[in-house]
Amino acid sequence: MQKFSEESKTRRHHKMVEVLKVEIYDIFRREVKDPRAKSLTITQVDLKLDLKSATIYVCKFIEGDGHEPTEEEQEELMAGLKSASHFIYESLKRRLSMKIIPTIRFSYDVGLSGGSQVWGLIRKISENA
């Protein structure tokens, strides 16, 4: 059995995080039929060190007034993603040639909740200037 150094494990982990981010984003755009998923942004991927599970943090920015989705809209979106998580997992299995494909769990990134509001205010100020 091949042993990996800590550095190669860390490099492998970071590479896998980036691969997951790119592939899941592409699956949202090309394969998921739900139009709500088309406007999602993946903000972070929290991949466990054993590579067996990952939490994908998403947010949805709405163009124009910087309106942030309501809690009800967020819950509806997360319910849709929860139901699509198995489909996304199966898509990852087809796309990636790896022994371990992490199970996927989605979480709404509330850390960025004020971001679109700030951009909306900046846009309004610049339009009025």
pLDDT single digits (tens) 65-76: 556 778 888 888
Contacts of 55 (CB under 8 A, 6+ apart): 45, 46, 105, 106, 107
Evaluated on CA atoms 100, 85, 46, 60, the torsion sign reads positive
CA distance to 63, 92, 115, per residue, from 112 (Å): 15, 27, 5
Q: Under DSSP, is residue 97 helix (H, G, I), strand (E, B) or coil?
A: coil
pLDDT at 1: 46
Least confident of 73-77, 85-89, 121-125: 121-125
pLDDT at 61: 67
pTM score, two decimals? Answer: 0.76
Question: Which domains, from first to last, does the chain contain?
Answer: 6-128 (3.30.300.20)
Q: Is the pLDDT of residue 63 over 60?
A: no
Alpha carbon distance 19, 97 (integer Å):
12
Give percent of the chain with pLDDT exceeding 90.
40
- The band of 33, judged by pLDDT with boundaries at 50, 70 and 90, is confident
Nearest to 47 by CA among 67, 86, 19: 19
